[in-house]
Amino acid sequence: MQTYTYKGINKSKPVKVYATLPVLNESENIAALLLDLEAQDFADWMLVVCVNQPDEWWHMPDKEHICEDNARTISFLNNKNDSRIKVIDCSSIGLGWKGKHHGVGWARKTAMDFAAGLADADDIILSMDADTRYPANYFSAVSDQIYSFPDAMGLSVPYYHKLTGDETADRCILRYEIYMRNYALHMLQLRNPYCFSAIGSGMACKSGVYKRVGGLTPKLSGEDFYFMQKLRKAGNLIIHSDAVIHPEARFSDRVYFGTGPAMIRGRDGKWDSYPIYSSESFLKVADTFKVFTDLYTSDFEVPMQHFLDQMTDGNSFWGTLRNNAASAEAFVKACTQRLDGLRILQFLKSDNENYPQSDEEKLWQFLNSALFSSEDISGLPDVKDFSECTVDELNDIRNVMFQKERSLQKEIQLA
């Protein structure tokens, strides 16, 4: 039994963790995932696994091996004979996905919906992935944070990819992490409401919150991002945890975007979709957010104006929000919800063409900004070309950014 005290009230109840897991072609990872769960220092948990693929794959020679792999996973899980493990079979012949309803988003939703149907409102639903390794204190660390901030909508768990020993894979994952952390650090530095990282293997919320926001919306890719954004629009998100998860760095095309596809593109030298955005672009975002209150009175040009004009075909971005807002406070909230994490990322992509410096130059300028001390960056290489950096040098850069991100997350706590 876990006992939590907050707001002066002692709440002693058997909080349960429901770990949810979408699985496709993961027989080589499922045993390690179960070992992580069995090693948890949190007593009461259940694992809900959705093993899935389109039903038509059984009749496709190039996909049949995935169906067979899924069958091995189902057999392995059933043979565990563990009442804490629930298997949802969306894989066996006749049970696979049919039509447009397929993919990791549907699998993750199916598992999370199933868990929400079993859980009490204060129980915790975790989203996990089979290729991610979890520390023994993971469930307890997540529970501690969620009950330390009882009004928060959920938790985004910090991540760190361990290196594989394969130079190509390591170079790709490090370059991708540098891109991710450049974005995250700027958003954290600005205290933007969307300063969270959305990792499907590291999301958590109370069951009651999951139901309140309407659950996870299934997507072929990016369902984790949209779910965390949905939670953030409903309230604050916790962005710090004592536990760090370790997703696997692997080349994978099972989703349309994310780590696997980024590594594949990076292996081919195609990093154009993962640029190092200029600090100036983030300042435009910050300066626009700062004037939301003033915009309640009348329109005026903001630093993101060109992008907003494109969004609205030249019409006022603020007019409809203003007309529907009963107060300046309601207007600011509406602005924050409309100019969300997705719109910010779209703006950064469009604004990037205004800064022709190389990714390496923009990163080096950021690392030499006031956010980092001379001690922080001591010993880092003067990056002129990522391709000429050694794996160790790229790892040093990643580690400096990771530690700074952890420091800011701990300081801010709630986004």
Q: What is the CATH number of the domain that holds 7?
A: 3.90.550.10
Residue 315 and residue 369 in one domain: yes
Between helix 279-290 and helix 341-351 the angle, nearest 10°, is 130
Residue 309 and residue 380 in one domain: yes
Most distant pair of Cα atoms in the chain: their distance: 66
Distance, CA of 210 to CA of 222 (rounded, Å): 18
Residue 94 and residue 228 in one domain: yes
Of 6, 52, 8, 2, the C-alpha closest to 26 is 52
Distance, CA of 230 to CA of 222 (rounded, Å): 12
Residue 154 and residue 90 in one domain: yes
Residue 359 and residue 298 in one domain: yes
Residue 215 and residue 346 in one domain: no
Residue 133's DSSP bridge partners are 246
Residue 355 and residue 207 in one domain: no
- State the first-to-last Cα distance of the chain, in angstroms, to the nearest integer: 29
Is residue 146 domain-resident?
yes
Is residue 254 domain-resident?
no
Residue 39 and residue 150 in one domain: yes
Instruction: State how many domains the chain has.
Output: 2
Q: What is the pTM of this model?
A: 0.92
pLDDT score recorded for residue 264: 80
Of 414, 190, 215, the C-alpha closest to 280 is 190
| Positive or negative: CA dihedral 109, 114, 117, 120 | negative
H or E element, residue 11 = strand 9-13
Distance, CA of 335 to CA of 299 (rounded, Å): 13
Residue 343 and residue 234 in one domain: no
**What range defines the domain where residue 225 resides?**
2-159+197-243
Is residue 56 domain-resident?
yes
Is residue 153 domain-resident?
yes
Is residue 249 domain-resident?
no
pLDDT score recorded for residue 254: 64
Residue 32 and residue 145 in one domain: yes
Residue 3: exposure state from Cβ atoms within 10 A (0-12, 13-18, ≥19): exposed
Residues of the chain with pLDDT under 70: 1-13, 251, 253-257, 260, 263, 266
Is residue 408 domain-resident?
no
Length, in residues, of the chain: 415
Residue 234 and residue 335 in one domain: no
Is residue 74 domain-resident?
yes
Is residue 85 domain-resident?
yes
Distance, CA of 66 to CA of 69 (rounded, Å): 5
Residue 395 neighbours by CB distance under 10 Å: 18
Of 65, 82, 96, the C-alpha closest to 31 is 82
Residue 221 and residue 314 in one domain: no
